[in-house]
């Protein structure tokens, strides 16, 4: 039970520190942001996260889009990220996972102003930290003393008008998108970000 709470607390701190902020001077209505909702079951003993991730994506790009691209940092290491399914409106979605790039083909173009919700189901096996070569190697790793769970989930790649979701394959840089977050755990206890 404490392991679940510690995971939620850790994630809450990470998102609170790095999340987008609006000041009181920002009186205009900002464009709707993508929404990430996570249902996470952490098995601390087995160093495993089983996740149902829902991403609600409004098309604010001013042009129709035919695919959605995610960066999957956990897929940098073979055997860490296991994608079970991708769904759109409770139906299987056509997708490809090429190294760290997850591309979801939409059944029809998503026009400006329209919104979709994708559901990704996956497992992450947190690897043991052996002979780290950089601080980045410890982002997603465990030792006998601790477990670090950073960059474990697929996140939207930046969208560039005319170029679509752009992502350099094999890039170890973390790409973070502006979004709103909700993380829950199986006991239905909710922690808002």
User: Does the predicted TM-score (pTM) go above 0.75?
Assistant: no
The per-residue pLDDT for range 65-111, each reduced to its tens digit, is: 999 999 999 998 899 999 999 999 889 999 999 999 999 999 999 99
In a domain, 23, yes or no: no
Concatenated DSSP letters of 150-177: -S-S-EEPPEETTTEE---TT--S----
Tokens of 113: 């102003």
Residue reference for tokens 């005319």: 162
Render pLDDT for 144-189 as a digit per residue (tens, 0 to 9): 888 888 889 999 998 877 765 554 333 333 334 455 656 666 654 4
Tally of domains in the chain: 1
Residue at 21 is within a domain: no
Q: Residue 41 falls within a domain, yes or no?
A: yes
**For position 88, which CATH number holds?**
2.60.40
Query: Regarding predicted confidence, which is higher, 32 or 191?
Result: 32
d(CA 53, CA 112): 23
The secondary structure of residue 12, as a DSSP letter, is H
| Cβ–Cβ under 8 Å, residues 119 and 86 | yes
Tell whether 26 is covered by a domain.
no
What residues make up the domain containing 131? 2-15+32-192
pLDDT digits (tens, 9 = 90+) for 19-62: 444 444 444 556 788 999 999 999 999 999 999 999 999 998 88
């Amino acid at each position: 039970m404490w392991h679940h709470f510690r995971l939620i607390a850790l994630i809450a701190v990470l998102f609170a520190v790095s999340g987008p902020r609006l000041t009181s001077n920002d009186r205009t209505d900002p464009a709707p942001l993508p929404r990430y909702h996570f249902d996470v079951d952490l098995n601390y003993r087995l160093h495993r996260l089983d996740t149902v991730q829902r991403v609600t994506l409004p098309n604010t790009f001013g042009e129709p889009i035919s695919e959605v691209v995610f960066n999957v940092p956990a897929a940098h290491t073979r055997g860490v990220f296991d994608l079970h399914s991708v769904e759109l409106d409770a139906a299987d979605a056509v997708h490809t996972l090429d190294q760290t790039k997850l591309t979801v083909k939409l059944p029809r173009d998503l026009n400006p102003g329209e919104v979709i919700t994708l559901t990704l189901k996956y497992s992450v096996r947190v690897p043991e930290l052996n002979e780290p070569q950089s601080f980045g190697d410890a982002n997603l790793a465990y030792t006998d003393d601790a477990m670090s769970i950073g960059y474990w989930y697929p996140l939207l790649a930046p969208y560039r008008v005319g170029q679509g979701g752009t992502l350099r394959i094999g890039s170890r840089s973390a790409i973070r998108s502006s979004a709103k977050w909700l993380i829950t755990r199986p006991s239905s206890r909710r922690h808002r970000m």
